[in-house]
Amino acid sequence: MAQLNVPVMSLTRLGFFAQAVLSPSPQLRHNPATHFSFERDHARMHAYVYKSQRKQDTFVYLATRDDFSGLPAAVHTQLAPFAFVLEVALTPERRLAQADVATVREALGKHGFYLQLPKTVVLAGECDYD
């Protein structure tokens, strides 16, 4: 049986960046330290959290640092300016104080941002039960 000498694509991880490396060898050896599967890369999503300086307890999670282009203009004008708070890895095991990780990940994937509003407290005297 003939072997083809075709370049094989593998991933090498350097810090937070992945670099593509072409290997002329027909044999591919699996090295868990340098090979990252799709499942592990997909499970690791980063969010950049910003606090609204105008509205108390309101946070914006962004998929890309300092990229507010996906944020609707009306929301941006009401909440800006923003202060960077932290960068967080949104793994399925991660727990957030006021948001569900799966919901945040889905919003970041679809829209590029997630808006966390302050919790609303309704007092019994303010409700109309008619």
Q: Which structural domains are found in the chain, ordered by start? A: 8-36 (no CATH), 45-116 (3.10.510.20)
At residue 124, the pLDDT reads: 63
pLDDT band at 119 (very low <50, low <70, confident <90, very high): confident
pLDDT given at position 22: 37
Confidence of residue 129 (pLDDT cuts 50, 70, 90): low
> What gap in Å lies between CA 122 and CA 114, rounded to an integer?
24
- pTM given for the model: 0.61
The average confidence (pLDDT) of the chain is 74
Torsion of CA 76, 52, 66, 72, to 10 degrees: -20
60 Cβ contact partners less than 8 Å away, ≥ 6 residues apart = 49, 50, 52, 68, 71, 79, 82, 113, 114, 115, 116
Mean pLDDT for the stretch of residues 117-124: 78
